[in-house]
A and B are shown apart, each in its own frame.
Chain A
Amino acid sequence: MAEKKLMKGNEAFAQAAINAGCRFYFGYPITPQNEVPEYMSRELKKVGGSFIQAESELASINMAYGAAAAGGRVMISSSSPGIALMQEGFSAAAVTQAPMVAINVMRSGPGIGGIQPAQADYFQVTRGGGNGDYHIIVYAPKSIQEACEMIYKAFEVADEYRNPVMICADGMLGQMMEPVAIPDPIPAMTEEEIFEAKPWALTGHKNKRERNAIKSVFLQQEVLEDFNLNVLAPKYEKAMRELPEAELIDVEGAEVVFVAYGTTSRVVAEAMDLLADEGIKCGLIRLKTLWPFPEYAFDAIGESTKNVIAVELSMGQMIQDVKLAINGKLPVDLINKVGGVLLDPEEIAERTKKIMEVR
């Protein structure tokens, strides 16, 4: 691991991708992720990579689709409305098993919305904004350091699962600066290595194998049924067994357990200190993966817990998965802000005390 440097989130994300061997990036401007395409346009060429400023988010993801299908290590990034435009492409990438990494630097919505940080894309990224039966794997970093480590790992996960992987950051992570040590660079695959390591990829058959056909259309229903049940389903089941991740802080013995992810979880951690000062024992389940949802973490909630509180910057999206995980065993309440307005620790502490009184 390199030495720590003070870096802006978006630039660190881009460098983490390059260090992970990403050589193809196709970007389109949208605030608050613009430093990613700007950084990639400068830096990728220095390592023999290729940058295209796409004409739209639609083009961007369909370029990523081409590069992934051709065996290249590829990343795209955007922010909420831009991710919405890409959803058809995520569905296509899932069915064709094209490995790619996408960063969503979330902003507020709905519609064009605003450019302030938000977490209102939980449904969009975990429920599949695109058509059909598919999932994308979603990581939710709380810091620039963690984002870089998740991006670095995401390329391996994308290749292993042959599926899109998304890093769900928010405008705050993209725009702020923090000290970060980016994982060490690894070399990108050569075209010859792609031919050997990714026998499914578009490389030209070189008269050495049958031609490859990467297919998205299945007009015979039995063929599509077979593909969904025997290729996609086992893969998603494996992901649900192996990928869920959460950080558990003081959950055992807690009176109140918060559930949060991303930068919001850092604000919750501060609120927990305030509540501890008043003698209220609090715990936190911090989601590191949004899909697959880390249901296992909820097994740690014991008899001491009276309240579960979902804290998120949305009208209440993640809370639905929290309720599914709690399965009626405890009341689940929501502390939130919407439209790009942020929570502060004092407000979380006050609202928590009110919830405890009512309950």
Chain B
Amino acid sequence: MKPVFEVTKGMREMTSHYCPGCTHGISHRLVMEVLDERGQLGDAIGVSPVGCSITAHQYMNVDMIEASHGRAPATASAIKRVHPNAPVFTYQGDGDLASIGMGELIHAAGRGEKICTFFVNNAIYGMTGGQMAPTTLLGQKATTCVDGRTIEQAGSPMRICELLETIPGAVYVERVSLHNPAGVRTAKKAIHRAFEVQEKGLGYAFVEFLSTCPTNWGMTPVKALDWLKENMIPYYPVKQFKCPEEVK
């Protein structure tokens, strides 16, 4: 009998350290499923920097390296130069990518590095316990803005896809949301396209996953999915910003 579902060989068999309801599990699996389907688990090299997902290599069955805080796109750029045919990706959170790592992100995109970045945006610092991130929404509470973020105190949240859209080297930019099954299916297609862009040597490919952090948001997992839909999507529109003809 033909199986209707198989667990991807891209995920190693073990219990994850992520909190209940965290969407890292979904985005980990999606990236690995795509590499598995593309037959590239044996070739892929991943970079996970400081943040909740720094030990993503515990779960992802591909060669991986932990990067210093924010530096993953620089590290990945060089890995790609050593192994030009390997699918190289970074998997970064918003504290890492949008704050300390903004320089490396922008310049990897600017050089049009042939790598993929998967950006987990949950609007908060997770690993360090819920501090305000550049992506924390106005009014959203965090341990470094307990009354909610204000423009006066911290400015407005950064929209990363919109920023990258202006950079010619970032040829594929898409924001997806993991709050419902339709969003998850869209996300998987986006990951496929990102690796396709890299394989065709078209330039830098970037996929943002709107994600949840029930623990630091102080919500149940189900409530967190609703909060994402009601609060994050209006500010961070789910949208394909740029896509080369070759992979449409």
Contact = CB atoms under 8 A, between A and B. Distances in A.
A213 B75 contact: no
Interface in B60-85: 60-68, 71, 74-79, 81-83
Interface stretch (B43-51, B131-139, B182-190): B43-51
B42 interface: yes
A74 B83 contact: no
B57 interface: yes
B62 A66 contact: no
Contact of A74 (B42, B47, B78, B103): B78
A127 interface: no
B55 to A, nearest CB: 7
Contact of A205 (B62, B82, B83, B106): B62
Contacts of B81: 24, 50, 52, 67, 72
Contacts of A126: none
Contacts of A24: 78, 81-82
B229 interface: no
B107 interface: yes
Interface in A3-27: 24, 26
A66 B61 CA distance: 19
A355 interface: no
**Residue with the greatest number of chain B CB neighbours at <10 A, chosen from A24, A66, A191, A206:** A66
A58 B67 CA distance: 12
B233 interface: no
B62 A70 contact: no
A40 to B, nearest CB: 13
Interface in B1-49: 12, 41-45, 47
A214 B111 CA distance: 26
Contact of A204 (B63, B67, B74): B63
Given A55-B103, A204-B42, A63 B82 contact: no
B63 A62 contact: no
A256 interface: no
B78 A64 contact: yes
B196 interface: no
Given A191-B83, A202-B45, A204-B43, A214 B64 contact: yes
B57 A213 contact: yes
Given A205-B63, A217-B66, A63 B55 contact: no
B54 interface: yes
A66 B66 contact: no
A47 to B, nearest CB: 14
Contact of B82 (A71, A88, A89): A71
A216 B50 CA distance: 10
Contact of A211 (B47, B57, B104): B57
**Residue with the greatest number of chain B CB neighbours at <10 A, chosen from A50, A70, A207:** A70
B201 to A, nearest CB: 15
B68 A211 contact: no
Contacts of A202: 45, 63-65, 79, 83
A62 B67 contact: yes
B167 interface: no
A216 B64 CA distance: 12
A121 B62 CA distance: 40
B238 interface: no
A92 B107 CA distance: 22
Given A62-B68, A62-B71, A214-B64, A70 B45 contact: yes
A215 B67 CA distance: 9
Interface of B: 12, 41-45, 47, 50, 54-55, 57-58, 60-68, 71, 74-79, 81-83, 86, 103-104, 106-107, 111
6 contacts: A50-B82, A54-B74, A66-B82, A69-B65, A205-B62, A212-B64
* Ranked 8 nearest A-B pairs via Cβ: A66-B75, A66-B78, A62-B71, A70-B82, A213-B57, A50-B81, A63-B78, A55-B107
